[in-house]
């Protein structure tokens, strides 16, 4: 039977194979981060125009236009929140890539630890978003079941 061993007490080493994988991971992370910066800025810019577009589309509907204007403001806020979250995730991913590259070039443990901290933050944000998304889906499913029961 295999014994469980604490990795921290076993002097885990980053050998040349692991360093190569980390270097390639940092390269791809940097590419994804730069693309994320560009897309988050575009989403942020688009957030200001989506409200105007939505309110313009509903001008001819009388009283509905005030509700549409409020909805357009809400959508603008949603787009801005998405842009900020995406920017932060890209920033942490970029920091991971830069610090990992520095750590591998200089064998600096502090840069290595900082890079892994930034990667942890990316996954923490992704996990929180996933929990929120699954909660919304569960509430929608429960609401649909309840609505279906009352429609009989």
Distance CA 77, CA 81 (A): 6
Structure tokens at 5: 């061993």
Number of Cβ atoms within 10 Å of the Cβ of 47: 18
- Please give the pLDDT value at position 44: 94
Structure tokens at 2: 């295999």
Across the chain, which has 152 residues, the per-10-residue mean pLDDT values are 57 86 96 97 91 71 61 85 96 97 93 96 97 97 94 82
Q: Is the pTM of this model over 0.75?
A: yes
- Please give the pLDDT value at position 102: 96
- Please give the pLDDT value at position 7: 57
Distance CA 52, CA 76 (A): 9
Domain boundaries, the chain: 16-119
- Please give the pLDDT value at position 151: 87
Biggest alpha carbon distance in the chain? 75
């Amino acid at each position: 039977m295999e014994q469980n061993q604490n990795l921290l007490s076993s002097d885990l080493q980053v050998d040349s194979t692991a360093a190569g994988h980390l270097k390639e991971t940092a390269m791809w992370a940097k590419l994804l981060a730069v693309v994320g910066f560009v897309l988050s800025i575009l989403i942020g810019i688009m957030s200001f125009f989506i409200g105007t577009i939505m309110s313009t589309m509903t001008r001819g509907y009388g009283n509905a236009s005030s509700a549409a204007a409020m909805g357009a403001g809400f959508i603008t806020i949603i787009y801005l929140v998405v842009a900020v979250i995406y920017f932060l995730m890209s920033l942490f991913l970029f920091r991971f890539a830069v610090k990992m590259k520095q750590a591998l070039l200089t064998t600096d443990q502090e840069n290595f630890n900082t890079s892994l901290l930034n990667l942890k933050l990316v996954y923490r944000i992704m996990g929180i978003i996933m929990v929120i998304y699954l909660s919304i889906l569960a509430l929608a499913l429960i609401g649909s079941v309840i609505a279906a029961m009352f429609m009989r």
